[in-house]
């Protein structure tokens, strides 16, 4: 059913879900929400499966006219959403009614917000996912970001009997200085001398930060003298910190499948949402952890999600 009419799309608003794993061996990147935690919680708040399609909103948000009643929830970056000019808090549900106008102005902290709607955004499932991958024009709305005049549909789903909210203490705070924990490798052996400097330095997030990668600026990371400038092209993972010839690190993200530069370290899965929320100008510091630490932190994050699911079930019934 027709849900939203897009009056103003914002610079980069796309439909995303939790991405596609099935065609990585054919050069199709994972795609999906850059901050899967915020995406999952947004869906839980409106009573959806966690992998329902949401809008991923980057830095500045859209202006949308509501066509059908729906429960909506905005999570992730704090963007100061209003409905008919009344401020609406993030990380909770609100009923949107036909004729109302939703405005999502601009991120005050964080970089990407997620808007979930009852039933999920209705776009065709393509290669196992609804995620937009603009470079290959697949998924989402005709394989592109939203444009003015788009009519978005939602899938069938029941409206809530009362609004839900995430307890305050569980709402992530996005700082301007971001500590990212990382496991050395896969090519840490090419940086035997450079790696200590890398883990001690601070880097600024540049304007060149998109879904493919986040370029940093700071002290150059030096490869060992005998290590070649490039490696044999190999598959990459979100979180890989690639070091090109100029020594300025790039954190690879969900729209990259392979690369030929050495990667000094890899941001742990539990901290990838913090990369998604880093704004140009923010400061990033890398902290070395072991694989065992990374797996423990991943389990803790999964437990926290489970805690949120159980809390919502207990308080609101699901």
Nearer to another protein, 6 or 182 (CB): 182
Q: In this complex, which beta carbon is closest to another protein, that of residue 202 or of residue 257?
A: 257
Please report, as ranges, the residues that interact with another protein according to CB under 8 A.
Answer: 21-28, 126-127, 135-138, 183-187, 232-237, 239-240, 257-258, 263, 266-269, 291, 294-295, 298-299, 302
Least distance from another protein to the Cβ atom of residue 72, Å? 29
Burial class (CB in 10 A: 0-12, 13-18, 19+), 154: buried
Task: Tell me, rounded to whole angstroms, the distance of Cα 73 from its chain centroid.
Answer: 16
Q: Least separation, in Å, of the C-beta of 267 and another protein?
A: 7
How far is Cα 35 from Cα 56, in angstroms, rounded to an integer? 9
Shortest CB 299 distance to another protein, Å: 7
- Compare residues 47 and 273 and give the one whose CB is closer to another protein: 273
CB 254 within 8 A of CB 30: yes
Do residues 3 and 123 touch, judged by C-beta distance below 8 A?
A: no
Decide: 285 and 178 in contact? Cβ < 8 Å.
yes
Judged by beta carbon, residue 58 or residue 236, the one nearer another protein is 236
- Where does residue 318 rank: exposed (0-12), middle (13-18), buried (19+ CB within 10 A)? exposed
- Least CB distance from residue 275 to another protein, whole Å? 12
Q: What is the DSSP letter of 193?
A: T
- CA distances (Å), origin 313, targets 189, 203, 252, 270, 275: 48, 41, 36, 24, 30
Q: Which is nearer to another protein, 187 or 274 (CB)?
A: 187
Q: Which is nearer to another protein, 221 or 267 (CB)?
A: 267
Least distance to another protein, CB of residue 295, Å: 5
Distances (CA, A) of 2 to 123, 154, 156: 12, 7, 11
Cβ of residue 129: shortest distance to another protein, in angstroms?
Answer: 11
Question: Least separation, in Å, of the C-beta of 56 and another protein?
Answer: 20
DSSP 266: E
> In the complex with another protein, which residue's Cβ is closer, 124 or 281?
124
């Amino acid at each position: 059913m027709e849900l939203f009419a897009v009056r103003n799309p914002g610079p980069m608003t796309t439909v995303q879900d939790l991405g596609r794993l099935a065609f990585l061996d054919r050069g199709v990147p994972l795609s999906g929400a850059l901050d899967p935690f915020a995406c999952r919680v947004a869906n839980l708040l409106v009573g959806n499966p966690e992998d329902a399609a949401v809008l991923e909103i980057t830095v500045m948000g859209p202006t949308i006219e509501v066509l059908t009643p729906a429960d909506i929830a905005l999570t992730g970056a704090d963007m100061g959403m209003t409905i008919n000019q009344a401020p609406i808090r993030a990380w909770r549900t609100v009923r949107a009614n036909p004729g109302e106008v939703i405005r999502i102005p601009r991120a005050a902290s964080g970089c990407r917000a997620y808007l979930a709607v009852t039933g999920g955004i209705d776009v065709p499932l393509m290669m196992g996912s609804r995620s937009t991958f603009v470079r290959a024009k697949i998924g989402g709305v005709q394989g592109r970001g939203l444009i003015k005049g788009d009519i978005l549909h939602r899938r069938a789903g029941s409206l809530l009997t009362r609004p839900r909210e995430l307890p305050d203490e569980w709402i992530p705070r996005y700082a301007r200085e971001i500590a990212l924990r990382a496991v050395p490798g896969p090519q840490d052996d090419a940086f035997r001398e450079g790696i200590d400097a890398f883990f001690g330095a601070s880097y600024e997030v540049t304007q060149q930060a998109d879904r493919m990668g986040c370029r940093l600026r700071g002290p150059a990371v030096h490869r060992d003298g005998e290590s070649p400038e490039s490696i044999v092209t190999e598959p990459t993972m979100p979180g890989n910190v690639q070091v090109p010839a100029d020594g300025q690190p790039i954190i690879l993200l969900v729209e990259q499948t392979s690369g030929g530069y050495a990667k000094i370290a890899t941001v742990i899965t539990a901290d990838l949402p913090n990369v998604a929320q880093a704004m140009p100008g923010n400061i990033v510091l890398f902290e070395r952890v072991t694989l065992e630490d990374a797996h423990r932190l991943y389990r803790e994050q999964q437990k926290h999600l489970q805690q949120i699911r159980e809390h919502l079930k207990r308080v609101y019934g699901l």
